[in-house]
Amino acid sequence: MQNSANRSSETVLVTGGAGFIGCAISASLLESFGRVVVVDNLHPQIHESGSRPEGLADGVELIVADITEASTWDRVLPDLKPDVVIHLAAETGTGQSLEEATRHTHVNVVGTSQLLDGFLRNNALPRRIVLTSSRAVYGEGAWRNSEGAFFYPGQRTSETLDKSEWDFPNAEPTAMKASEVFPAPVSVYGATKLAQEHILQAWAKSYGVETAILRLQNVYGPGQSLINPYTGIMSLFCRMAMGGRSIPLYEDGQVRRDFILIDDVASAVVAGATSARTHPTPLDIGSGEFQTIGTAAETIAARYGAPAPHVTGQYRQGDVRHAWADVSAATSVLDWAPRFNLEQGIARLADWIDSQPDVRPA
Ligand SMILES: NC(=O)c1ccc[n+]([C@@H]2O[C@H](COP(=O)([O-])OP(=O)(O)OC[C@H]3O[C@@H](n4cnc5c(N)ncnc54)[C@H](O)[C@@H]3O)[C@@H](O)[C@H]2O)c1
């Protein structure tokens, strides 16, 4: 990794840092920064016990507070004055966001603007802000028609999905690449992540603050919440297979996703915080290759000796057909590369789930 300088005297603030990604980066951050402070409200949908997660490295200071409250920042920032901020706190349920649009918008959009207003009110402008955005900003992304030209197919409708028309006819999907593919979210969650990006970019340019915006694909692995029913398809599949169930596959099982192991996301986020270079536009973070959901489910079923997965033909509003990242910009700017393939990642996830006390089959 290419560090710009010895940052050991610097302070990093991590919002939502008690969650899946926050815990995974916590030990590395302690190696790169003199002080690591997390602000997290220990949301009950993710934190069943409401206490400090075991995965959060010793030495990290945890402040239990809500990012959407102006008073949080007036309490935290005057003492802290962070050099670098990693903004992770968010409501993350894609499907749930369609039913609870206000909650998602409030935390993701207003939470971000409250943080930025807090920096100004408390004379605490950071040097850099890292935002974990999402592949959800692309929606269905760009496809190529039969002549090879890019087009934006827009949102799939209930009418076509009810007829099991999963793909866009006579067209091929393409990789998600920020420099080529325009964002066009099809979920409220995706729209709030795009709003976060735009608000942060406009604000940061005005105040000369560096930004690193990372559009993450599907993150999975040890440490992911086993109780949040709205995120984490890989851990859900593991818990189904563990209970001897055949994993149900939505649509025709051929939905493509780019599953990236948490270790590879952690190294990308830490690189975003410490790299010598930043990039004015977002960077795509994934494993760089796609898998079908069916392949992922088969690998998990084999690991647990469960029956083969089965196609249900069901679908979920807000889900996109295919998604995978072109990681070339991220590898060159961040001097980072994904290291784990699907088999290695599933083995690590399943071993971790097996070691968890009181884990319930789904
Ligand atoms: N995990 C993925 O697959 C994935 C993919 C793309 C983007 N992301 C983004 O990465 C970030 C972190 O995701 P994660 O997987 O670690 O999620 P997570 O749910 O495990 O962690 C989010 C943390 O934010 C906290 N939080 C929620 N609302 C808060 C509030 N109002 N005030 C303070 N804290 C609050 C929660 O308690 C939790 O600890 C999010 O911004 C998410 O949009 C994640």
pLDDT in tens, 163-194: 999 999 999 999 999 999 999 999 999 999 99
**Residue 49: predicted pLDDT:** 87
Structural domain harbouring 65: 11-219+262-286+326-339
Task: Flag the least confident range among 14-23, 210-219, 353-362.
Answer: 353-362
Nearest atom of ligand 1 to the alpha carbon of 53: 39
| Active-site annotation, residues | 189
Q: Measured between alpha carbons, how far is 244 from 234 in angstroms, rounded to an integer?
A: 15
pLDDT in tens, 96-146: 888 899 999 999 999 999 999 999 999 999 999 999 999 999 999 999 999
Q: Measured between alpha carbons, how far is 175 from 130 in angstroms, rounded to an integer?
A: 23
- The tokens describing 310, both together, are 């089965």
Domain contains 344: no
Q: Residue 15 — φ and ψ, nearest 5°?
A: -80, 145
Q: Measured between alpha carbons, how far is 120 from 105 in angstroms, rounded to an integer?
A: 22
Q: Which residues contact 164 (CB under 8 A, 6 or more apart)?
A: 251, 252, 313
Predicted TM-score (pTM) of this structure:
0.95
- The tokens describing 258, both together, are 């780019």
Domain contains 110: yes
CA of 148 to the centre of ligand 1 (A): 37
How high is the mean pLDDT of the chain?
94
| 215 within ligand 1 shell (Cβ under 6 A) | no
Q: Measured between alpha carbons, how far is 68 from 92 in angstroms, rounded to an integer?
A: 15
Average pLDDT on 150-154 reads 94
Using the predicted structure, report yes or no on whether residue 4 has a pLDDT greater than 80.
no
The single-letter DSSP state of residue 189 is H
**Residue 61: predicted pLDDT:** 98
Domain contains 184: yes
**Residue 1: predicted pLDDT:** 40
Q: For atom 23 of ligand 1, which residue has the closest CA? A: 16
Nearest atom of ligand 1 to the alpha carbon of 67: 32
Using the predicted structure, report yes or no on whether residue 3 has a pLDDT greater than 50.
no
Domain contains 245: no
Domain contains 267: yes
Q: What percent of the chain has pLDDT over 90?
A: 86
CA of 9 to the centre of ligand 1 (A): 27
Q: Measured between alpha carbons, how far is 253 from 347 in angstroms, rounded to an integer?
A: 21
The single-letter DSSP state of residue 170 is T
CA of 168 to the centre of ligand 1 (A): 32
Domain contains 172: yes
Question: What number of H helices and E strands is found in the chain?
Answer: 12, 16
Cα distances from 210 to residues 125, 128, 130, 155, 213, in angstroms, run: 11, 4, 8, 33, 10
| 20 within ligand 1 shell (Cβ under 6 A) | yes
Q: Measured between alpha carbons, how far is 60 from 38 in angstroms, rounded to an integer?
A: 7
Residue type for 234, please?
M
Grouping H, G, I as helix, E, B as strand and the rest as coil, residue 212 is strand
**Beta-bridge mates of residue 248:** 310
| 218 within ligand 1 shell (Cβ under 6 A) | yes
Give me the number of domains the chain comprises: 1
Q: Who wins on pLDDT, 147 or 318?
A: 147
Using the predicted structure, report yes or no on whether residue 319 has a pLDDT greater than 90.
no
- The pLDDT-based confidence of 229 (bands split at 50, 70, 90) is low
Domain contains 333: yes
Domain contains 315: no
Q: Are 340 and 5 contacting, i.e. CB atoms less than 8 angstroms apart? A: no
Residue type for 195, please?
A
Using the predicted structure, report yes or no on whether residue 2 has a pLDDT greater than 50.
no
CATH value at residue 119: 3.40.50.720
**Residue 255: predicted pLDDT:** 97
Task: Flag the least confident range among 161-165, 229-233, 293-297.
Answer: 229-233
CA of 348 to the centre of ligand 1 (A): 21
**Residue 6: predicted pLDDT:** 52
Q: Measured between alpha carbons, how far is 291 from 284 in angstroms, rounded to an integer?
A: 17
Q: Measured between alpha carbons, how far is 185 from 294 in angstroms, rounded to an integer?
A: 24
